[in-house]
A and B are shown apart, each in its own frame.
Chain A
Amino acid sequence: MKRSARGAWPYLFLTPAIVLFTLFLAVPIAYTVYLAMRRTRVSGLGLGKGARREVFVGFDNFAAALADAELWQGWLRVLGYGALVLGVMLGLALLFALLLDSARVRLARFSRIAIFLPYAVPGVAATLLWGFLYLPSLSPIRAVLDVDYLGATTVTYSMANVAVWGGVGFNMLVLYTALRAIPRDLYEAARLDGASEVQIALRVKIPMLTPAIVLTTVFSIIATIQVFTEPTALRPLTNTISSTWSPLMKVYRDAFVTGDLYSAAATSIVIAAISLVLSFGFLRVVRDRAFREG
Chain B
Amino acid sequence: MAGVTAATAHRRRAHGASASRPWGVAPTALLLLGAIYCLFPVFWVLIAATKSPGELFSTSTLSFGTGFFDNVAELFAYRDGVFWLWAANTLIYAGGGALLSTAVSAVSGYALAKYRFPGRNAIFNLLIGGILVPAVVLAIPQYLLFSEIGLADSHWAVLLPQILHPYGIYLARVYAAAAIPDSLLEAGRIDGAGEWHLMSRVALPLMVPGMVTIFLFQFVAIWNNFLLPFIMLGDDGKFPLTVGLYTLLAAGANQPALYNLILTGALLSIVPLIALFLTMQRYWKTDLSSGAVK
Q: Which residues of A contact B (CB under 8 A)?
A: 1-4, 6, 9-11, 13-14, 16-18, 20-21, 23-25, 27-29, 31-32, 35, 92, 95-96, 99-100, 102-108, 110-111, 113-126, 128-133, 137-138, 140, 165, 168-170, 173-174, 177-178, 181, 184, 187-188, 191, 222, 225-226, 228-229, 232-233, 236-237, 248, 251-252, 255-256, 261, 264-265, 268-269, 271-272, 275-276, 279, 282-283, 286-287, 289-290, 292-293
Contact = CB atoms under 8 A, between A and B. Distances in A.
Interface string B205-237: 000000000000000100110110011000000
28 contacts: A4-B118, A10-B111, A10-B115, A20-B160, A24-B142, A24-B161, A24-B163, A28-B145, A96-B30, A102-B27, A104-B27, A111-B32, A120-B273, A121-B224, A125-B245, A128-B262, A132-B48, A165-B37, A222-B134, A228-B136, A233-B249, A237-B253, A271-B137, A279-B132, A283-B125, A283-B128, A286-B170, A290-B173
Contacts of B177: 293
Contacts of A9: 111, 115, 195-196
A125 B242 contact: yes
Nearest to B16: A103
Nearest to B138: A28
A290 B116 contact: no
Given A129-B266, A177-B285, A184-B14, A118 B38 contact: yes
B107 A286 contact: no
B2 interface: no
B112 A222 contact: no
Contacts of B133: 25, 29, 272
Interface stretch (B56-64, B67-75, B77-85): B56-64
Given A16-B104, A272-B133, A272-B137, A165 B38 contact: yes
Given A114-B35, A133-B44, A119 B115 contact: no
Nearest to A103: B16
Contacts of A96: 30-31, 34
B161 to A, nearest CB: 5
B170 A124 contact: no
Task: Give the residue among A24, A131, A233 with the most B Cβ atoms within 10 A.
Answer: A24
A206 B220 CA distance: 30
B41 A271 contact: no
Interface-central residue, A128, A169, A287, by most chain B CB under 10 Å: A128
A105 B259 CA distance: 40
Contact of A110 (B22, B35, B107, B125): B35
> Which bracket fits the contact residues of B?
35 or more
A32 B31 contact: no
Nearest to B31: A111
B270 A256 contact: no
Contact of A13 (B42, B110, B134): B110
Interface of B is mostly: helix
Majority secondary structure, A binding face: helix
Nearest to B248: A128
A121 B270 contact: yes
B263 A132 contact: yes
Given A35-B141, A233-B249, A105 B170 contact: no
Nearest to B254: A236
B48 A122 contact: no
10 A-B pairs with the lowest CB-CB distances in the bound complex, closest first: A114-B35, A236-B253, A13-B111, A140-B61, A103-B16, A28-B141, A10-B115, A20-B164, A111-B31, A122-B224
Contacts of B31: 96, 99-100, 105, 107-108, 111, 115
B134 A272 contact: yes
A54 B224 CA distance: 37
Contacts of A29: 133, 137-138, 141
B132 A222 contact: yes
A20 B107 CA distance: 14
B174 A293 contact: yes
Nearest to B251: A236
